[in-house]
Amino acid sequence: MKLGLTYITALLLLSVALMSCRGQTTDKPPLRHHFNMNFQERFNSQQENPFFEDGMAMRMPVEGTVARGNLRHDLALYEGLDEDGNYIDEIPFDVTRDFLYRGKDRYDIFCQMCHGGTGDGRGIIMTGEYGYVPAPTFHRTDSYNMPNGELYSAIANGIRTMPSYATQINVKDRWAIVAYLRALQRSQNISEEEMDQYDVDIAELQEIYRVEQEREEARAAARAAAADDEVSAEMGERLIVQQGCQACHSLDGSPGVGPTFTGLFESEVTFVDGTSAIADEEYLYESIVDPGARITEGYDNVMPPYAHLSESEIQSLVEFIKSLADE
C-alpha cells in the first residue's frame, strides 16, 4: 500500500513539473546545437570577397551556361525562324479544332481589346479616347503575305508600340494564336456560297453587322457634335495626344516609326514606288484617312486609317501639322 502511494505521488509531481514548462519565458540564450548554421562563413549579395581578383562575391555564370529548361535550340519552334534566320511559313504544331479553339481563347484574353474580335484593328481601347496607336488590321495584303513566323515573333518579342507577351503566353499558345489569326483572315473572305455549306445563319450575321455599323456611325456623329465643327491647330494638337500619334510621329524632327510632323508640310515626299509629291493639304488629308494609298520611302505600311475621325477633327490635324512647317 505504501509503495502504491509513493508511485502515485511521483506521478503527480512529474505531471506538475511538466505542466510548469508551458507558457514560461526565459532571458537565457537559446541552446544552439548546430552553432555553425547560425553563423555561416559565407558572403552576402554585393559583399566584397578578397578571394577573387575582382573582389566580387557575386559571380557571373560560366560563359556558355544555359539555365535548366532554356536550351531552346529549335529555332523554328521558339523563334519562328529557319537556319538562315528567315521567318518560317509553317506552324510547328498540328492545327486541330482544339488547337484553334485554344488560340481563340488566348486571342480573346490578350489580343481582342486592341485588334478587335475579327482582327480588324478596332478593339475597344482603340476606338475610344485612350491615346493608343490604333492596331493595324489583319485584313490587308501585307498581313496576308506575312509569314507565320513573323506573326509569332510579334507576339513573342513585341513590335513597335506592341509589347512582348513572352512572359504571359507560352510557346504553344503563341502558335495557337497565329493559327487562329489565319482562321480569322479566312473567315472574313469567305463567300455566301461557301457559307451555305455550314450551319450558319447569314441573315443573323448581317443584322449584327448592321447594328454595329449603326453604333459606329452614332459614335462618329457624337464626336462631331461634341467638336462643334471647330477646326483649329489647337484642337489638332489635342487630337495628336488623344490618338497617340506621337508614338510613331515625332514633333521635334527625330526619326520614328513614321515620318516626323516637323517640317512635313510643303516638303517633297518620295514614295516606295519611286514617285514623289509635295506634302500639301490634300496629301496630309489622304495620309490620315487612307495611309496605305502612298507609302513614304523608308517606312512600312503599318498605319491604320483614321477615317473614324470627324471631318473637323481631320482638318484640325492637318492645321496642326501645317503649323509645324517652319519649326
Cell of 143: 498581313
Residue with cell 453587322: 209
Residue 179 burial by Cβ neighbours in a 10 Å radius (0-12, 13-18, 19+): buried
What local confidence, expressed as pLDDT, does residue 95 receive?
A: 92
Q: How far is CA 244 from the centre of its chain?
A: 16
Max CA separation in the chain (angstroms)? 123
What is the rounded average pLDDT of the residues 242-252? Answer: 79
- pLDDT given for residue 196 in this prediction: 75
Q: What is the mean pLDDT of residues 62-71?
A: 81
CA distance 125 to 134: 9
CATH number among 3.40.309.10, 1.10.760.10, 3.40.1780.10, 3.40.640.10, domain 75-191:
1.10.760.10
104 vs 41, residue with greater confidence: 104
Per-domain boundaries in the chain = 75-191, 233-323
pLDDT digits (tens, 9 = 90+) for 177-193: 999 999 999 888 777 77
Residue 88 neighbours by CB under 8 Å, 6+ apart: 76, 80, 81, 82, 147, 148, 149
CB 172 within 8 A of CB 219: no
Provide DSSP, 211-245: HHHHHHHHHHHHHHHHHTT---HHHHHHHHHHTTG
**Does the pTM of the predicted model rise above 0.85?**
no
> What does the pLDDT read at residue 325?
78
Is residue 244 over pLDDT 90? no
Residue 16 scores a pLDDT above 60: yes
pLDDT tens per residue across span 205-240: 788 878 877 877 777 676 666 655 778 888 888 888
- Give pLDDT, residue 139: 86
- CA 66 to chain CA centroid, Å, is 27
Q: For the chain, give the mean pLDDT.
A: 82
Percent of the chain with pLDDT over 70: 88
209 exposure class (CB count in 10 Å sphere: 0-12, 13-18, 19+): exposed
Q: Is the pLDDT of residue 150 over 90?
A: yes
Measured between its terminal Cα atoms, the distance across the chain in Å is 115
- The CATH class for the domain spanning 233-323 reads mainly alpha
Average pLDDT over residues 296-300: 86
pLDDT band at 20 (very low <50, low <70, confident <90, very high): low
Which of the 8 DSSP states describes residue 278? E
Cell 447569314, located at residue: 202
Q: Which of the four pLDDT bands, split at 50, 70 and 90, describes residue 3?
A: low
Same CATH fold, 233-323 and 75-191? yes
Q: For residues 65 and 302, which has the higher predicted lDDT (pLDDT)? A: 65
pLDDT band at residue 263 using 50, 70 and 90 as cut-offs: confident
Rounded distance, CA 158 to CA 247, Å? 15
Cα–Cα nearest to 142, from 309, 267, 295, 302: 302
What's the pLDDT tens digit per position in 50-60? Answer: 999 999 999 88
- 133 Rama sector, left if φ>0, alpha if ψ -120 to 50, beta otherwise: beta
